[in-house]
Amino acid sequence: MPALIENCGYTKEVDCVSYKLEIPDNIPGIYNAVYQRAQMNGGFTMKEFTTKKELRKYIRPVFELVNEAYAEIYGFAELEPDEMDYMADRYMFILNPKFIKVVLDKNGKIAAFIVSMPELAGGIRKAGGRLFPFGFLKVLREGKTTKMLTCYLGAIKEEYRNNGLDALMGTKILDTAKKEGMTFIDSHLVLETNTKMRREYEKLGGKVYKKFRIYQKML
């Protein structure tokens, strides 16, 4: 495929990579230290969920933070309110609330969040790409048996960056994943230029195992 595309006159625009890392038995000491400091010094509260009903009131604030934090990210288009509601309704049924973490500031406003999900690709393949009439059952079953957790979305409000909130959420996600029997994490797509996020995955032993290229062509 790359040769075919390049022969048509397309060139590389940017690469995205996916890291795969084994969930450690013990959280690295530096993460625990940063975790404790963030809890003590920032007045932040970690919000965890057990039901989808609990998630509902945080959906719109999470998407609003996405619009704010992703504004400068390559290829991002701001979400309109009706798009937020559509995405929430479309994907709520496959979300596992345990793998969503929200950090609140001292005023109870969202300071950061992370959304991860059990890897569902195997179930989608078994369903032949069709959710109905019974394909969704195969997708849901895959979510209960897979050993891979995929990180999809995450953001930290600009004024709260470098306060250890990434370690706060990462520690909680790793802890939950371990308790739920997961053995691996897929970072999903990380821009090759996002050196900060790449360093965090590499600190935990993550290795690049997939690469996705966006091509361009001047018209």
**Where residue 154 falls among pLDDT bands split at 50, 70, 90?**
very high
- Residue 194 lies inside a defined structural domain of this protein: no
Domain count, the chain: 1
- Residue 216 lies inside a defined structural domain of this protein: no
- Residue 10 lies inside a defined structural domain of this protein: no
pLDDT at 44 over 90: no
Domain with residue 106: its CATH number is 3.40.630.30
- Residue 128 lies inside a defined structural domain of this protein: yes
- Residue 6 lies inside a defined structural domain of this protein: no
- Residue 75 lies inside a defined structural domain of this protein: yes
216: buried, middle or exposed (CB in 10 Å: 19+, 13-18, 0-12)?
A: exposed
Highest-pLDDT range among 6-15, 66-75, 115-124, 199-208: 6-15
pLDDT at 31 over 80: no
CA distances from 48 to 45, 104, 143, 173 (A): 10, 11, 19, 10
- Residue 112 lies inside a defined structural domain of this protein: yes
pLDDT at 39 over 70: no
Per-residue pLDDT tens for 180-208?
999 999 999 999 999 989 998 998 889 99
Which domain covers residue 77, as residue numbers? 24-182
**Where residue 120 falls among pLDDT bands split at 50, 70, 90?**
confident
The predicted model gives 34-53 an average pLDDT of 81
Q: Can you give the pLDDT at residue 111?
A: 95
Are β-strands 45-48 and 110-118 bridged in parallel, bridged antiparallel, or unpaired?
A: unpaired
- Residue 8 lies inside a defined structural domain of this protein: no
Q: What is the mean pLDDT of the chain?
A: 90
Is the pTM above the cut of 0.85? yes
pLDDT at 35 over 80: no
